[in-house]
């Protein structure tokens, strides 16, 4: 059994993102060799996770701040407490303001 403070990790990733000028992330569950992966990502306002393929079923839980999920011409805004379901399509994520998210992915076998 392992206990992780997601709030503390969100603060840490936001600090890392602010000091490096780019996104910062830490995988807390799973990894590339596992089906389930959960990663806390800190993003500074205006930064973006560039467009990429969806590796499986995925969600974004907004821990702090606000983000925009972009899929083609569609956009969904999320703020702290919102859960965004990522469609099975190429997508990107933009930080509208400084944000921390919990990205959960269940990769296809």
pTM of the model: 0.92
Location of structure tokens 């407490």: 81
The answer to whether the beta carbons of residues 103 and 48 sit under 8 Å apart is no
The answer to whether the beta carbons of residues 102 and 6 sit under 8 Å apart is yes
pLDDT tens track for 62-79: 999 999 999 999 999 999
Alpha-carbon span 41 to 19, nearest angstrom: 14
For the record, the structure tokens of 36 come out as: 């389930």
Asked whether residue 41 carries a pLDDT value surpassing 80, the answer given is yes
Domain residue spans in the chain? 6-107
Location of structure tokens 């992330």: 25
Q: What is the CATH number of domain 6-107?
A: 2.60.120.10
């Amino acid at each position: 059994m392992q206990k992780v403070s997601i709030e503390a990790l969100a603060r840490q990733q936001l600090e890392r993102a602010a000091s490096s000028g780019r996104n910062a992330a830490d995988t807390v569950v799973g990894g590339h060799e596992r089906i389930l992966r959960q990663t806390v990502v800190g993003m500074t306002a205006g930064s973006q996770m560039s467009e990429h393929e969806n590796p499986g079923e995925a969600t974004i839980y907004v821990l702090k701040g606000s983000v925009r999920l972009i899929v083609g011409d569609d956009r969904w805004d999320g703020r702290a407490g919102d859960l965004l379901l990522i469609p099975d399509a190429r997508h990107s994520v933009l930080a509208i303001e400084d944000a921390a998210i919990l990205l959960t992915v269940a990769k296809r076998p």
